[in-house]
């Protein structure tokens, strides 16, 4: 199990994975809010406080209706003010 993000195509999955790695490389973390922004979904206040701070262990999985980007569950991260 993990945190699954559904996208339409394999290219969309690869683009999302690449964008997440770029954010992680630049900022040192990627939040659930960042991911939601990348896929065009709304976020909640708590989405800014959860995410990934280490190298991302990402799996791409083909499903019946699209592709899934599977990540570990997000954890609480420090938010710089």
Q: List all residues 6 or more positions away from 46 whose beta carbon is below 8 Å from its beta carbon.
A: 32
Over residues 4-13, the pLDDT tens digits come to: 999 999 999 9
Domain boundaries in the chain? 3-72
Residue ranges of the alpha helices (H) in the chain? Answer: 10-27, 32-39
Residue with tokens 């708590």: 46
pLDDT of residue 79: 61
Q: Judge whether residue 77 has pLDDT over 60.
A: yes
Instruction: Specify whether the CB–CB gap between 41 and 17 falls below 8 A.
Output: no
Over residues 21-53, the pLDDT tens digits come to: 999 999 999 999 999 999 999 999 999 999 999
Residue 40: other Cβ atoms inside 10 A: 6
Instruction: Specify whether the CB–CB gap between 74 and 3 falls below 8 A.
Output: yes
């Amino acid at each position: 199990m993990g945190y699954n993000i559904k996208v339409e195509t394999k290219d969309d999955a690869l683009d999302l994975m690449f964008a997440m790695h770029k954010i992680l490389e630049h900022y040192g973390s990627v939040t659930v809010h960042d991911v939601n922004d990348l896929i065009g979904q709304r976020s909640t206040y708590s989405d800014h406080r959860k995410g990934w701070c280490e190298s991302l262990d990402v799996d791409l999985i083909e499903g019946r209706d699209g592709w899934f980007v599977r990540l570990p569950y997000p954890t609480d991260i420090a938010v710089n003010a």
